[in-house]
Amino acid sequence: MIENSSDLYINRELSWLRFNSRVLYQAKNKKSPLLERLKFLAIYGTNLDEFYMIRVAGLKELFSAGIVDSGADKLTPIQQLNDIRKYIHEEKVELEKLYFELIDELKNEGVSLNFYDDLSDEQKSRANEYFFNNLYPVIIPIAVDATHPFPHLNNLSFGLAVKLQDSEKPKNIKFGLIRIPRVLPRFIELKNGAFVPIGSIVVNHINELFPGYKLLSATPFRITRNADLEIEEEEADDFLEIMQEGLRSRRKGSIVRLEIGESDDTDLIDFLNSHLKVFKDDIYSYKTPLNLGSLWQIVGNKDFVHLTLPPYKPKMLPPFSEHSSILNAIDINGEILSYQPYESFEPVVRFIQEASKDPNVLAIRMTLYRVGKDSPIVKALIDAALEGKQVTAMVELKARFDEENNLHWARALENVGAHVIYGIAGLKVHAKIALVIKKTNNGLKQYAHFSTGNYNQATAKIYTDISYFTNKDEFVNDATRFFHYLTGFSKIQELSTIAMAPTQIKPKMLALIENEEKFKDNGRIIIKANAVVDVEIIKALYKASQAGVKIDLIVRGICCLRPNVEGISENIRVVSIIGKYLEHSRIFYFKNSTPQMFFASADMMPRNLERRVELMVPIVNPKIGEKLLELLKVQINDTALAFELQSNGEYKKVEVGEIEVNSQDFMEDFINKLAQSKETQDTVAKMKKLSARLLKES
């Protein structure tokens, strides 16, 4: 079949790089406040760190193992590595240009970021004082020679490499390191908005660190290691113990990238790499600070809030209110859907808190994936367990880079008698679900909550996610079956109303796509997801497009489907929305199915559909379905934040027409209007009326 041609599939790693380029593009937006623009440089940098730690590290392992079997795009691991390196090296020019443009503009607003040599005498005096009082006791000068071995450097270690000359024996050249612990800030704030990179201060005090030696040259450096944990679950008697060992081994993973400050002294690079052994094309020389993520220190400085966007306050909309019972609201309405961060996450927190205090609640069960460091939800579960309620928590210890948080909460819950489980061997539990069981005069009553996002009050302010409460029998009964599946022995991995991966979601999606195909030109599909990678899903979409089905994909990140290919995907449009909120919800619309609307914890990726436990929830209430459809239409017609994927794999900024449509601003305005009106009826009609002013019918 023609759909098997490698030309029809975009490589997932290169697609991800283009996503990160769209993040970088936000730093160019002159309409945004300066620190909002600087924030996107920080996000770009932390994204790239994780990409190298996981994706590039994985490709290197495949190459080392001699594996050449490639995906649908037919690129081998070494071809992908070469393309990645070329892309990042080329984009580095744009990154540095943007950084210095922003730094120049920030100076005009009273925020300066200068190296030590550019400081005034008064500022140098303050920097020197700071060095002796705060840095000198904790930084570590390290000699490297025959009697002083090169030290082990943990993942994302930052420091300085120095080339020194013996003052008494000028021909005696030494090399050493200065380790700068992570506990220290990467920028030192002197006074009145003046920031100095910590390495710039340290390097100007070499004499105090290496007495009797003269500094010839120095460069900051930073290393990146393979941080993907390999856990042999089948061999684990104690999963907590093996996870702890895995976290320790992460610090020792093979080095996959070396970042250095721009330096003319090749001896320093040769010195570092004689010990680190990094492939030459994985060495990146930057004029910018090496750890762009550290720019959050400046972005988050409360003295400069005038250089950021005014914070949006999520609204508590009816039927929820500040003081009413969440369980009562569910009893009255049967089902309630809210959309974060525009609507408040507080009802989700109060759902668990109220259940923990209600003497008639017998049990609380929920999955915990990325709950954060200071979680009111987990604290409520601990309180519930202390009150003698049956608490069951599925704590996913394999949630990448949140493993330590989750280990902490798992122990805390176990210590108070909660029943804690760590998932299913070979599968990561990514489903977002909570279940409350309450005793009433008429017997037991159950309340369920399903979400596309994590139970994390911090990310709920910046991630767009669906939150759905219900007491409908078909949903709560499936929720009970789901938790029985997690906690017990079960060979039945199917639910009745809700679809569960790895057994049900992919077949369900394929059947829904195939059903639309039957309706040809009257078929309509909208898929909103973080990624579209799965080849079978893509092939099904190609086939539907060939039949005449109109398909819109709203894909924030990776998309391996190639749109607008003649005879294959002419009816498929792909847009990516990048804005101040991270588009995280997964919503699926099929015009000719019953019901038409679904939301899920899963993306359209093999790992989600085949190697994770996920949930896809149907929206059976027509009004709730209409609300989500209107939201999708607004995003399809976005002209402010949207980029459209071209058939060559590149993304093009969507042009602004007569009226600029910013889907995120639209939702803020819409929710604000609803909150001000205090009206509970006809919210869908209000959204349609408001959106009709901006949008043509999709």
Per-residue pLDDT of 144-161, as tens digits, reads 998 899 999 999 999 999
Q: Do residue 457 and residue 351 come from a single domain?
A: yes
CATH of the domain at 133: 3.30.1840.10
Task: Count how many domains the chain has.
Answer: 3
Nearest alpha-carbon partner for 482 in 452, 448, 506, 456: 448
Q: Do residue 523 and residue 657 come from a single domain?
A: yes
Give the integer Cα–Cα distance in Å for 655 and 15: 21
3-class state of residue 476 by DSSP:
helix
User: How confident is residue 622, by pLDDT bands cut at 50, 70 and 90?
Assistant: very high
Per-residue pLDDT at 445 exceeds 80: yes
**Exposed/middle/buried for residue 673 (C-beta within 10 Å: 0-12, 13-18, 19+):** middle
Q: Do residue 295 and residue 407 come from a single domain?
A: no
Residue 255 pLDDT: 93
Q: Is residue 220 part of a domain?
A: yes
Write the single-letter amino acid at 93.
Answer: V
**Exposed/middle/buried for residue 593 (C-beta within 10 Å: 0-12, 13-18, 19+):** middle
Residue 420 pLDDT: 86
The mean of the pLDDT values for the chain is 90
Domain finish residue from 487, 520, 546: 487
Q: Do residue 535 and residue 479 come from a single domain?
A: no
Residue 663 pLDDT: 95
Q: Do residue 451 and residue 523 come from a single domain?
A: no
**Is residue 537 a contact partner of residue 610, using CB atoms and an 8 Å limit?**
no
Q: Is residue 555 part of a domain?
A: yes
Q: Do residue 531 and residue 450 come from a single domain?
A: no
Give the integer Cα–Cα distance in Å for 215 and 524: 68
What angle (nearest 5°) sits at the alpha carbon of residue 18, between those of residues 15 and 19? 90
Radius of gyration of the chain (CA): 27
Q: Do residue 561 and residue 586 come from a single domain?
A: yes
Nearest alpha-carbon partner for 223 in 198, 246, 252: 252
Q: Is residue 100 part of a domain?
A: yes
User: How confident is residue 108, by pLDDT bands cut at 50, 70 and 90?
Assistant: very high
**Is residue 220 a contact partner of residue 186, using CB atoms and an 8 Å limit?**
no
Per-residue pLDDT at 122 exceeds 80: yes
Q: Do residue 507 and residue 400 come from a single domain?
A: no
What angle (nearest 5°) sits at the alpha carbon of residue 447, between those of residues 446 and 452? 140
Kindly report, residue by residue over 524-546, the tens digit of the pLDDT: 999 999 999 999 999 999 999 99
**Is residue 276 a contact partner of residue 157, using CB atoms and an 8 Å limit?**
no
pTM: 0.91
CATH of the domain at 461: 3.30.870.10
Residue 214 pLDDT: 94
Domain that holds residue 171: 32-307
**Lowest mean pLDDT, pick from 139-143, 303-307, 345-349, 658-662:** 658-662
User: How confident is residue 70, by pLDDT bands cut at 50, 70 and 90?
Assistant: confident
Q: Where are any strands of DSSP class E within 538-636?
A: 550-555, 572-577, 582-583, 586-590, 597-600, 612-619
Q: Do residue 482 and residue 549 come from a single domain?
A: no
Domain finish residue from 277, 307, 337: 307
Residue 493 pLDDT: 77
Residue 208 pLDDT: 92
Per-residue pLDDT at 401 exceeds 60: no
Q: Do residue 563 and residue 521 come from a single domain?
A: yes
Residue 408 pLDDT: 77
Per-residue pLDDT at 568 exceeds 90: yes
* Catalytic residue set: 430
Residue 246 pLDDT: 47
Phi and psi, residue 440, nearest 5°: -130, 175
- DSSP letter, residue 182: T
Kindly report, residue by residue over 75-103, the tens digit of the pLDDT: 999 999 999 999 999 999 999 999 999 99
Residue 71 pLDDT: 84
Measured in whole angstroms, how far is the alpha carbon of residue 61 from the centre of its chain?
24
What angle (nearest 5°) sits at the alpha carbon of residue 280, between those of residues 275 and 282? 95
Q: Do residue 504 and residue 598 come from a single domain?
A: yes
Q: Is residue 1 part of a domain?
A: no
Residue 103 pLDDT: 95
Between residues 541 and 413, the one the model is more confident about = 541
Per-residue pLDDT at 638 exceeds 90: yes
Q: Do residue 463 and residue 514 come from a single domain?
A: no
**Mean pLDDT of all residues in 417-440:** 89
